[in-house]
Amino acid sequence: MTDLPTIAVVCAVIKQQDSYFIAQRSAKMKMPLKWEFPGGKVEKGETNAQAIMREMKEEFDVNVEVIQEHPFYLHQYPNFILQLSPMEVEITSGKLTLKEHANYRWVAVKDLFTYDFSEGDVNIVKALNKRDKALNQ
């Protein structure tokens, strides 16, 4: 048993021309310089879809449409339990601008492993690789 708080976080999975969008947290953020599928904490009274739309606007100044919401992954950090819901989204409008992150990249699925992701995201990287292999069989 653990009495660590569980934090609900949504993250965006965006695929364009066989590449996935990933972002690097800035030196000032928690988990500095780690790569992630960007997003953030779900606020009180918000749905996961509303949360990812808000976060993508705040962090990258783009509007997104949710295509599919995936079941969450749990990951235990030393001081909290991350409940991470991957949200497959599409950018519908806006010019991608870095508002908080240090960097971003569009990366082929097989190259995702070469990035230093937040621990909680490793499950997503694995799932995307598995899905990609299944699709290309």
Ligand X SMILES: Nc1nc2c([nH]c(=O)n2[C@H]2C[C@H](O)[C@@H](COP(=O)(O)OP(=O)(O)OP(=O)(O)O)O2)c(=O)[nH]1
Residues at the contact surface with ligand X, assessed by CB under 6 A: 9, 11, 29-31, 36-41, 82, 84, 118, 120-121
- What are the structure tokens assigned to 39, written together? 């997003």
Nearest approach, Cβ of residue 93 and ligand X (Å): 21
- What are the structure tokens assigned to 76, written together? 């235990």
- Which of 19, 2, 10 is CA-nearest to residue 59? 10
Nearest approach, Cβ of residue 129 and ligand X (Å): 16
Nearest approach, Cβ of residue 64 and ligand X (Å): 14
Nearest approach, Cβ of residue 37 and ligand X (Å): 4
CB atoms within 10 A of CB 8: 16
Decide whether 7 or 137 has the Cβ nearer to ligand X.
Answer: 7
Decide whether 79 or 136 has the Cβ nearer to ligand X.
Answer: 79
Nearest approach, Cβ of residue 120 and ligand X (Å): 3
- 79-116 per-residue burial string, b: 16 or more CB within 10 A, e: under 16: eeebbbbbbbbebeeeeeeeeebeebeebebeebeeee
Decide whether 43 or 65 has the Cβ nearer to ligand X.
Answer: 43
- What are the structure tokens assigned to 18, written together? 């066989």
Decide whether 67 or 74 has the Cβ nearer to ligand X.
Answer: 74
- Residue of minimal Cβ distance to ligand X: 40
Q: Are strands 103-108 and 19-24 parallel, antiparallel or unpaired?
A: antiparallel
Decide whether 16 or 26 has the Cβ nearer to ligand X.
Answer: 26
